[in-house]
Each structure stands twice: as C-alpha cells, then as structure tokens.
C-alpha cells in the first residue's frame, strides 16, 4: 500500500516538532541526507536556529522515516541530541515520531518524484520480499 504524504501534513508536522522543541537550547538542526533535508531546512527557519552540515552536540537530528533504524542509530550517541522523524514504522523508543504507519506502507513524500518513488518501492520490496 502506498501512502502519499502531503505538503499540508508536512507543514503540520513541522509545526508539531517546533512546538515540542522550541524551549530546547539547540546548537542547530541536522537533516539526515536525503530524506531529512527538507524537514531540517523547514525546522531551521521555524525555530530560528542554524542548519548544521553535520550532527553536533545538542542538535535536533531529523529524518523523513524510521524504518529499520539503521540510519538514525548512527547518531544515537551524540551528546544532548534530540531526534524526530516524520514517520516511524516502529514504536518510538529513543526517537520521536509525528506519525506512525504500518511497516508495509510505502510513503511518498511531496518532494519526491512519484514515478521514481513507485519504482523504488518495487525494488525495495523485491529485495526484502515484502508483500
């Protein structure tokens, strides 16, 4: 099943994350390439903090989706870091999620090329034998 994440959902998610982080003393926002970059830029503007080119102590570290956890786990031990994803396919433990979806749902974000995203979905599921 494919879920199309809209710009409106994105804007609402940015507002939600900003409301949860506005009282934090952040060194900036870092977006995990590629999926977290749009979110990081939007949050940098919304929170009026710098956009970091690498994760730093006390950063807000963001990504589009938490699926396996491999990507975000690379940053787990950064001192004082806070973590948010737009979508989590697992119950959040040490990270925060705005939305939760079933692990079999494929999410197409509004900044993605829809045809290419559907091709990537087929390839991804083929590699992992998801049905």
pLDDT-wise least confident of 18-22, 52-56, 79-83, 120-124:
120-124
Q: From start to end of the chain, where are the E strands?
A: 2-4, 28-31, 59-66, 82-88, 96-100, 106-108
Contact 57, 80 (CB under 8 A): yes
Sorted by sequence, the CB contacts under 8 Å of residue 12 that are 6+ apart come out as none
**pTM summary value:** 0.88
pLDDT-wise least confident of 20-29, 59-68, 98-107:
98-107
Please determine, for residue 127, whether its predicted confidence score (pLDDT) is greater than 80.
no
Contact 95, 63 (CB under 8 A): no
Note down the domain range covering 61. Answer: 2-126
- Determine, yes or no, domain membership for 131: no
Instruction: Determine the average pLDDT of the residues in 23-35.
Output: 96
Identify the band that residue 128 occupies on the pLDDT scale cut at 50, 70 and 90: low
- Determine, yes or no, domain membership for 67: yes
Please determine, for residue 130, whether its predicted confidence score (pLDDT) is greater than 60.
no
Q: What is the CATH number of the domain that holds 96?
A: 3.40.50.2020
Q: What percent of the chain is predicted at pLDDT more than 70?
A: 95
Q: How many domains does the chain have?
A: 1
Please determine, for residue 101, whether its predicted confidence score (pLDDT) is greater than 90.
no
Measured CA distances, 82 to 26, 28, 59 (Å): 9, 11, 6
- Pick from 76, 69, 62: nearest CA to 30: 62
Instruction: Determine the average pLDDT of the residues in 28-49.
Output: 97
Q: What is the residue-averaged pLDDT of the chain?
A: 91
């Amino acid at each position: 099943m494919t879920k199309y994440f809209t710009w409106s959902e994105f804007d609402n998610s940015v507002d939600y994350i900003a409301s949860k982080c506005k009282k934090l003393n952040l060194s900036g926002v870092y977006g995990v390439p590629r999926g977290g970059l749009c979110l990081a830029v939007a949050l940098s503007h919304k929170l009026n903090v710098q956009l970091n080119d690498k994760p730093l102590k006390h950063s807000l570290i963001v990504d589009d989706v938490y699926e396996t956890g491999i990507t975000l786990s690379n940053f787990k031990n950064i001192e004082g870091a806070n973590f948010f994803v737009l979508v989590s396919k697992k119950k959040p433990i040490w990270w925060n999620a705005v939305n939760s979806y079933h692990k079999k749902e494929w999410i197409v974000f509004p900044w993605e090329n829809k045809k290419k995203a559907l091709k990537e979905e087929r390839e991804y599921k083929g590699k992992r034998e998801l049905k």
